[in-house]
């Protein structure tokens, strides 16, 4: 049998030759060998066990030939250090969204200074935003909405496995919470324009209702911003993730519907305009 080092090198090149991320191959090898990166390094020159090798090659075939996301093969994706269950019913959490969580927590400290607050996540999907906020900040009581019953089933499973306390509500956008009040509203809604090219690995495997946001990608932002203050207390934070090229248009929509609030826009670690916050103190 080949060694772990040989198996990894050959299949990483195989992925690259087929326009796939080589990092996905390493994740599969770690998953099927039940090792972490540090342990794998110590085993590099050892031969791969036959059963591990067979299962790994099957996973690689699914990833490269059948265009299945690695996260669907292994069943989870790590987000902010927590393992979230993912499948075809939810969007796979992206690392950029971790920066949104980080900035929400920093802004919460600045605006609310450790006070107890009510938070709502609109369009929660896997629940990664809502659940992470619930885990990371005990003073946040979090509710989350989604129109998809299948997505909420995944979110509830994540809530249970991570021992969080988020309350999930089924319905369209703000409708499930229209008679409630919150201090913080967060959302990472679908924001890809309907006709924009999306790579097949994403388009063929992730729910379109979680990807596409209308002709210009801003339909869901318009709905949320239009109605946001009806469910917010006088002092509040609104936090959005959005496409890197939509910050100016989003600011115009906010100014149309919300007066006397501070609009703060932040770049991600790649220098792209990715987050917009609305703060009223």
Q: What is the pLDDT of residue 226?
A: 95
Name which of 17-21, 32-36, 77-81, 187-191 the model is least confident about: 187-191
Task: Return the closest-CA partner of residue 242 out of 233, 232, 234, 252.
Answer: 252
Q: Taking the C-alpha atoms of 108, 110, 113 and 114 in order, what is their torsion angle to the nearest 10 degrees?
A: 30
Three-state secondary structure call for residue 185: strand
pTM: 0.89
Contact status, residue 243 vs residue 192, Cβ threshold 8 Å: yes
How does 121-152 read in b/e, with b if 16+ C-beta sit within 10 Å? bbbbbbbbbbbbbbbbbeebbbbbbbebeebb
DSSP assigned state of 157: H
- 151 vs 123, 145, 166, 200, CA distance in Å? 9, 10, 14, 21
Q: What is the pLDDT of residue 210?
A: 66
pLDDT > 70: what percent of the chain? 98
Q: What tokens does 204 get?
A: 């063929």
Segment 219-278, tens digit of pLDDT: 899 999 999 999 999 999 999 999 889 999 999 999 999 999 999 999 998 899 999 999
Domain 88-280 class, CATH top level? alpha beta
pLDDT, mean over the chain = 93
What is the average pLDDT across 27-36?
Answer: 95
Half-sphere exposure for 173 (CA within 13 Å, toward CB): 14
Segment 176-215, tens digit of pLDDT: 999 999 999 999 997 777 767 777 777 776 677 766 777 8
Q: CA angle at residue 173 from 168 to 178, to 5 degrees?
A: 80
Residues 6+ apart with CB under 8 A from 43: 4, 33, 35
């Amino acid at each position: 049998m080949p060694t772990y080092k040989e198996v990894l090198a050959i299949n990483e090149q195989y992925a690259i030759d087929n326009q796939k991320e080589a990092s996905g191959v390493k994740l599969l090898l770690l998953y099927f060998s039940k090792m972490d990166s540090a342990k794998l390094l110590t085993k590099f020159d050892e031969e791969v066990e036959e059963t591990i090798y067979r299962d790994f090659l099957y996973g690689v075939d699914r990833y490269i030939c059948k265009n299945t996301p690695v996260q669907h093969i292994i069943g989870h994706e790590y987000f902010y250090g927590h393992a979230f269950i993912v499948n075809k019913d939810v969007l796979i959490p992206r690392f950029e969204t971790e920066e949104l969580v980080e900035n929400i927590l920093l802004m919460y400290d600045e605006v609310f200074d450790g006070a107890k607050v009510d938070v709502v996540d609109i369009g929660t999907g896997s629940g990664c935003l809502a659940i992470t906020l619930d885990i990371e900040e005990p003073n946040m009581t979090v509710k989350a909405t989604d129109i998809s019953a299948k997505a909420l089933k995944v979110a509830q499973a994540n809530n249970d496995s991570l021992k969080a306390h988020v309350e999930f509500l089924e319905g369209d956008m703000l409708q499930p919470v229209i008679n409630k009040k919150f201090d913080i509203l967060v959302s990472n809604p679908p924001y890809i324009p309907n006709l924009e090219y999306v790579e097949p690995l994403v388009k063929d495997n992730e729910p379109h209702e979680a990807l596409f946001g209308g002709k210009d990608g801003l339909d869901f932002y318009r709905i949320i911003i239009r109605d946001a203050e009806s469910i917010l207390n006088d002092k509040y934070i609104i936090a959005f993730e959005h496409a890197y090229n939509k910050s100016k248009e989003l600011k115009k929509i906010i100014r149309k519907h919300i007066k006397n609030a501070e609009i703060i826009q932040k770049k991600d670690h790649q220098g792209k305009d990715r987050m917009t916050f609305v703060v009223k103190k």
